[in-house]
Structure formats: C-alpha cells, structure tokens
Amino acid sequence: MNSRKRLLAVTVGGALAATMAVVGQSATAAPTEPTMNEAFTDAAEEFDVPRDLLVSVGYAETHLDGHKGEPSQDNGFGVMHLVDNPERQTLDQAAKITDESVTDLKKNDAANIRGGAAVLRALADKAGLKAADRERIEAWYPAVAAYGGADSASLKRLYADAAYDFVSKGIPTKGTKVEMSPQKVTPERGKLADAKAPGVGTKSEDYPPAIWNPANAANYSTGRDAAISQVVVHVTQGAYAGTISWFQNPEAEVSAHYVVRSSDGEITQMVRDADTAWHARGGNASAIGIEHEGFVDDPSWFTDAMYRASGALTKHLCDKHGIPKDRAHIVGHNEVPGNDHTDPGPNWNWDTYMGYVNG
C-alpha cells in the first residue's frame, strides 16, 4: 500500500473508531434527568393524580423548592414536603409505594414529586375516590386535606383551601420551573364544608387583628421569668397551616407567639404575650417570637403583605410593652445569643420591615 492509501486508511479507520466510540458512549450514558415540569407530568400520569392539583399542593408546601434536601421545621423534605416525624411518616410511606430510596426522596426533585403523587393517590383511595372521581379535581379535596397532616377539621380546611386557591389562580410564572394554567374549580369539601377557619370568632386579646388559635400546652411555659424587652423575627421553614399544626403537636416542643401568612399577611396568635413561647432558647424569657411563613433561602415567600402585617404587629407590641423600635431590640433569630439558627437570613429585607414598624 502506498503512503497516500495508507494515510487514507488510517484516517477513515480512525474516524470510524471514533464514531463507534461515541455510539458506544451514547448507548451506555445515564438517562437524562427529567425537568421539574416533566416530573410533575410523569408522576401525575403514573399515579392518576390531576397534574395541576399535584403542582398546586407542591407550591403551597414549598413554592416548588426542594431546598437541597434540607428538612423543614417539622422534618419534611423536598418539593412535596414528605414528612418524617413521630406523628407523620409520609416519607416512609412514599418509599414503600415507589421503591425509591429515602435519600433520593429527600434530595432528588423527580423522586420526591413521584413520592408526593404516590401518597396523594393513596389518600384518594382511602377516601374512596373511584376512577371517575379521580378525573375531577374538585373531588380530590378530602385527599388534599389529609395530605397536610393536621388533626383538626379547621386546619385541614385551611390547608386544602390554600392548595385549591393555587389551582384557581395559578402559580407565579416568574422564577418557577413548571407550567400550569389556572382553572376555576369549586372544591367538594364534603364533611369539611362546615369547618370554620382556625380561630374564627375568637380574636386575639393581645392583638385584635390576629386569630387566636393556641399552641399545645406542652410546647410553651405559663408566665414569664423576665420583662418583655425584644421581638425576635423567625422564618417557619414550612407552610403556614403546617406550622400552626406543628405548634399544636405535643411532640414539637417548640412554639412562637405569632405566625404570619405569606400570601395576605394573616396573623395567628398561638401563645399569649404574657406566657413564654419556646422559640429562641436563652432569649425566650424576655422575647416575643414572630414566625413568618416560608423558607430562609427562598425570597418569594417574603411578600409586601407579610412585611406590612408583621410590621404593624411589631409596632403594636413595641408600643404595648415599651420596646424601643430599633434593631437592637427587634432582632433576627440568628442574632439571639446561644442560637445556631440562620433565620430570617439574607433574603429578609430589614430596611423594608423596619420602615413599616416605624411608619
């Protein structure tokens, strides 16, 4: 073979080998991870759950943020907030139904969404939903209400109504990874139709605009060992209804005086000002704790409605208890000595908040 033919053979052979190598690599490459949008579609189809309802439950729980596998306040994980605590074990339930590992359910969005769909379908089966019922989003209300894990009828309704509100209004398109079109629905509340919102008819004696819905007596102390001298700002690391439910769980051993909702600034008081909530370790005796719905690393929860409502509450508390309206006396959980928490975190806008406190 002359040198020209030999060079051609080497060139062609090398190219063929390279092509075969690429083909071989493609054949053995790991499958592409589905997008969150695809994960919701796949999970909804697999477990026969209405996709937009599944998305709405996830958004109500976490704003579709898995928080890199970090737990919520009541030890819930991932986009769908699969829980592992003494009262609820939806994480373990999801693992058994899906054969996904607990680690993947905690840290992998697609696995977590699949797990959430599996649990929601199991609750639908328990509620007696047949195939025809499962086609109608309205009929899923009892299953959604149960997914929140609350004991009282009023909290179940509060939780389910929040999810159905997102079905009707849609979820914010900015910053989200999921497509969803709003659709007007009239949820079939069944036995929960007569359930009142938590604290309806019972207003707070300490702050009349707030709803009074007390924490479990096992989660706070009666009375004070020191005069009230500061307000501590917290972030719940969870949803509004879930936080209220957790403070009413005797296993929690934690509470705050007030909880503020992200969407509209609704406030629930759970511990009287004169009593000691368990929220800031060494600061408990002299502080009033205010929890704000959301997660430290996700600024989408910190709405103007929340800042305004909480600012008005803090202004009232400072005036009532003689607390100076400054950053030495209105502090974050992370600023209380002896605490290892990071809330309210870098996304909390102190200038905006203090502007409302002093406005």
Rounded distance between C-alpha atoms, residue 254 and residue 26, angstroms? 52
User: Residue 146 is which amino acid?
Assistant: A
pLDDT at 17 over 80: no
Closest residue by Cα to residue 183 from 199, 167, 198 = 167
pLDDT in tens, 292-338: 999 999 999 999 999 999 999 999 999 999 999 999 999 999 999 99
pLDDT at 1 over 80: no
Rounded distance between C-alpha atoms, residue 77 and residue 70, angstroms? 7
Rounded distance between C-alpha atoms, residue 344 and residue 235, angstroms? 5
| pLDDT score recorded for residue 94 | 98
Percent of the chain with pLDDT over 70: 90
Question: In the structure, what pLDDT confidence band is assigned to residue 176 with cuts at 50, 70 and 90?
Answer: confident
Find the mean pLDDT for residues 67-79. 95
* Start-to-end CA span in the chain (Å): 92
Rounded distance between C-alpha atoms, residue 156 and residue 158, angstroms? 5
CA dihedral 97, 103, 107, 109 (to 10 degrees): -20
Question: In the structure, what pLDDT confidence band is assigned to residue 200 with cuts at 50, 70 and 90?
Answer: low
Selected residue with higher pLDDT from 80 and 33:
80
Yes or no: say if 358 and 315 are a contact pair by the CB < 8 Å rule: yes
Find the mean pLDDT for residues 193-218. 88
| pLDDT score recorded for residue 12 | 36
Rounded distance between C-alpha atoms, residue 144 and residue 158, angstroms? 11
pLDDT at 227 over 90: yes
Contacts of 9 (CB under 8 A, 6+ apart): 1
pLDDT at 120 over 90: yes
Q: What is the mean pLDDT of the chain?
A: 91
User: Residue 158 is which amino acid?
Assistant: L
| pLDDT score recorded for residue 33 | 84
Question: In the structure, what pLDDT confidence band is assigned to residue 22 with cuts at 50, 70 and 90?
Answer: very low
pLDDT in tens, 335-356: 999 999 999 999 999 999 999 9
| pLDDT score recorded for residue 201 | 67
pTM attached to this predicted model = 0.88
pLDDT at 26 over 60: no
